[in-house]
Amino acid sequence: MKSALASILILLGCCRDLACAQAAEVLTAWTYYAAPPFLTDARSNAGLDRDLVAYLNQKLAGKYEVRLMFVPRARLGSMLDTGARGMVLFAPSVIFDGPAGGKYLWTSALFDDRQDLLSRASAPFEYDGPGSLHGVRFGAMLGHSYPALAEDVASGRIHAHRNNNEGALLKMLLMQRLDVITLADSSVRYLVRNDASIAGKIHVSKQNLGSYTRHLMFQQGMTRERDDIEEVVARMDGDPAWLAILRKYGLTHGAR
């Protein structure tokens, strides 16, 4: 009798666990970042993206199963235009018309960032408006837009050498094939902190291309999902677990 009762209880527990697993809604988390701190090891997918997905899955267990998916920047734009459902990790507030005026749905900010201008320490460059980049061998990420330079890039007054890899741009700078490159400050901090080969070789301009915040951005029509995850995001700045993740990559929740 006891054995039969125990078997029934085990069966009920298994059914409950199965029901919870079935109830979890799959939510695709897109990232187009292939460089630190978002991706620090391509073989294991280690990095801030994976850590954030793990954090969200822990907080949303039973309700959502967040799955990480890498998508090139150009393809992501096409997917969003055709209505694909998902959320973009660490979307900067300067794209897609931002949290205030665009058609997509945004959470609160995850952390502050900015767009740095890097040169060699042996040939330091100080940015003083778009004109200061005229005639300069300038490197930038493929598919990324920089509002402060948009007009001059479109007119050809600034010629930007594009690459889809931050590390490649940095290497071209150090090899004197480029004079100035632009990278997100979050990437610069991680690289300088973790790559001894560039220590003391990089100069960061005092004036940058602008500051912005990073968010989770959802496809239109996903208000319920955005609101559910916003409940988690709104508490992250006081969560020691999330703050420890940021510190791991040399980041903080607020402005530096």
For the entire predicted model, the pTM comes to 0.86
Segment 51-57 shows an average pLDDT of 99
Closest residue by Cα to residue 227 from 60, 77, 80, 93: 60
Please give the single-letter amino acid code of residue 48.
Answer: L
Tell me which residue of 91, 51, 90 sits closest to 239, measured CA to CA: 51
| CATH assignment of 23-112+212-248, among 3.40.190.10, 3.40.640.10, 3.30.200.20, 3.40.630.30 | 3.40.190.10
**Among the four given CATH numbers 3.40.190.10, 3.40.50.720, 1.10.1060.10, 2.40.30.40, the one describing domain 113-210:** 3.40.190.10
Cα four-point dihedral sign 193, 194, 199, 204:
negative
Nearest to 202 by CA among 227, 230, 181, 221: 181
Nearest partner of 114 among 189, 40, 196, judged by Cα: 189
**Cα dihedral 13, 232, 39, 93 in deg (nearest 10):** 150
Contact 68, 48 (CB under 8 A): no
| pLDDT tens profile 142-158 | 888 899 999 999 999 99
Distance CA 90, CA 249 (A): 14
Which residue matches tokens 């061998």? 137
Amino acid at 199: A
Q: Where exactly are the structural domains of the chain?
A: 23-112+212-248, 113-210
Q: Name 65's bridge partners.
A: 26
Q: Distance between CA 240 and CA 55 in Å, rounded?
A: 12
pLDDT of residue 13: 56
CA 56 to chain centre: 15
Task: Evaluate whether 146 touches 211 at the Cβ level (below 8 Å).
Answer: no
Are both 23-112+212-248 and 113-210 of the same fold? Answer: yes
E-assigned strand segments in the chain: 25-31, 64-70, 87-92, 105-106, 111-120, 138-141, 160-163, 180-184, 202-204, 211-218
Tens digits of per-residue pLDDT, 198-251?
Answer: 889 999 999 999 999 999 999 999 999 999 999 999 999 999 999 999 999 999
Which residue type does 150 have?
A
Task: Read off the pLDDT of residues 72-124 as tens digits, 9 standing for 90 and up.
Answer: 988 999 999 999 999 999 999 998 889 997 899 999 999 999 999 999 999 99
Q: Which of 15-24, 61-70, 131-140, 203-212 has the lowest mean pLDDT?
A: 15-24
Q: Rounded to an integer, what is the distance from CA 200 to the centroid of its chain? A: 26
- Nearest Cα neighbor of 63 from 19, 3, 29, 104 is 19
Helix, strand, coil percentages (3-state) for the chain, rounded to 5, are 40, 25, 35
Q: Which of 73, 107, 74 is nearest to 93 (CA)?
A: 107
Give me the mean pLDDT over the 21-38 stretch.
90
